Amino acid sequence: MVQVWLLVKWYLVMKIVLLLINIIEYDQLSKQLDNKGLSIGIKSLLDVVELSKQATDVYRTAKFVSVLEEIAGLHDC
């Protein structure tokens, strides 16, 4: 049951991120975040997205992942 909730939660997080970034960035993020785990609230996720939007287009996904690592404890599963 816990694994199902985590999958649903991760799916919802990625849907929110998809709404806020473009498709190319989403493809890059999905590759970088494959087999990763994190714990983050919606408000914190929106803060991470806002911080990553401040970066240039080239570095936006890298900034997003680095901020996730700092704030949400992104880690290998």
**H or E element that contains 37:** strand 36-37
Q: List all residues 6 or more positions away from 12 whose beta carbon is below 8 Å from its beta carbon.
A: none
Q: What is the pLDDT of residue 35?
A: 84
CATH architecture of 2-76: Orthogonal Bundle (1.10)
Q: List all residues 6 or more positions away from 42 whose beta carbon is below 8 Å from its beta carbon.
A: 16
Q: What is the pLDDT of residue 51?
A: 83
In tens digits, the chain (77 residues) has pLDDT values of 445 555 567 677 777 766 666 777 777 878 888 888 877 777 888 888 888 888 887 788 888 888 888 887 777 77
